[in-house]
Structure formats: structure tokens, C-alpha cells
Amino acid sequence: MIRSFRAGLLGGALLLSLAASTAQAHSPYLLPTVFDASDRKIVTVEGAFTEDFFTPEVVMKSDAYAVVGPDGVRTAIAPTYLRQLAVFEVATEKPGTYRITTGQRGGRTAKAALVKGQWEFFEGSKAPADAIDMQSLTTAEVYVTRGAPSDAALAPTGKGIEFKAITHPSKIVTGQDAVFEVLYDGKPVANQVIEFVPAADRYADAKPAPKTVTSDAKGRFAVKPDHSGLYHIQTRYRLGPSAAGQPGYSYTYALTFESLR
């Protein structure tokens, strides 16, 4: 079963005064106009940071935007940057599955320190003496399919943190487990926490509450959509410096997918 969803690229009253640094408190996402591209040869995609899925708040810039086609070939993309979102078109003339990605984009460097075994971030003079510089690295991705789903675009990059799709993203069914594997530099990551949240309904009385799941010893985890619609899954993976004088790294990986009955 192939998915179809048509989403407005602009929507809602948006705050124009957000500075780029605000994105550190926001989550990244990519959102295509359709997930099922069977009836079209072009899909338009938006990329942004937000706290309210999927309403763009801060533009997501990257020098590594790209699409991996059904043949596995990676092609660079040059987005148009607006104040609150990046917009670009992806050609989907060939049948199969396309992986659309921001690539690994560098964000700001902030002060961080280990507090009770967890990395915490500090502003300015609030940073403790043992704080280190930690560089933010973010990747957001989404899959669209024209015709029958294919697997070549699902191959992991082997770089940084990412989700390997065990359940094909174009075959996710409401009420059934969608299985993924967390990888860091191509190797499974056990006990990694993943946040799972449905798209917000702007007319609902309350925002949907995020859920969390944890990867098993083989790096696998499952999420089960309880209703048809859009979903966002995300994880953060932080590493201390590999040598004295080197920065640590805070990796964020996010995937948008659609579930239908």
C-alpha cells in the first residue's frame, strides 16, 4: 500500500522574530507535499525547525541537501531559503523510493558538561569549569515513493547517527509496528532513546504528547502509529571529545513518515 498526503507548505500564524540560534531548542523536519508520488513527476519539500509539528518556525539551512534516487545515486539539491523554511523541488520521474535529506549540517557550538552522567548545556558564565565545546550536527530525512517501493535509497550512509528502516517507510500501517535500527557510523546503538510524536492538530484542545521508546541490544526499536496521519521520530546522540582540545559532538537525527490504514 502506498501513502498519499497533500500538505500545505505554509500555514498558521508564524513568529517572524525568531533568531537562528533559537533552532537549538527546536526539532528539525522535512515535509513533502506528497509521500505517494505515483501521480506526479515533482514533489515539493519544506525544511524547518519547529516545536509544533509541522508548522515551520526557523529555516533549516544546509550545504548538503540531497536526494538519493531509486538507483541509489545521490544528487545535490539547492533550496530556496525563506525566513522560516527552506523550499525545494525533487524530480520523481523514475519509479521507486526516494530518500530526501538535509545531509549532516553543522549548527552552533555550545558549552556542555557531564552532570550525573548526562550531558547538559550552559549559557555564558553559567558553564562550570569542566565544560567543553560541543558542536551540533543535525540530519533530517523523509522518503517518498512513486509506484512500487524499492530499497536502494534505504541504504545507510554509515556516517553519524541515523535510522535504518527495517519496515519500509512507504509500507507503514496504522496499528502495526514500524521497525527501525539506530546506527552510529554504521554500527547499532543499544539503549538509545527515541522520541515519537504525531503531527499536531491546530484545532485540538491540546497538543499530542510525545512518546519515547528505547532501542534494544541490537539497536532496533519499534513505533506503532495509533491513527492515520503524519509522524516524526527523532533521537539525539552526544559524544565527548576524542582528544584534549577537541570538541564534543551532539548529533540529532529526525525522520518524518506517514501512516494510513
First to last CA, the chain: 9
User: Which residue is associated with the grid cell 515519537?
Assistant: 196
Q: Could you report the average pLDDT of every consecutive run of 10 residues in the chain (261 residues)?
A: 40 32 68 96 97 93 97 97 98 97 89 77 77 87 98 97 98 97 97 94 77 97 95 94 85 96 85
Cell (9 digits) for 4: 498519499
pTM: 0.86
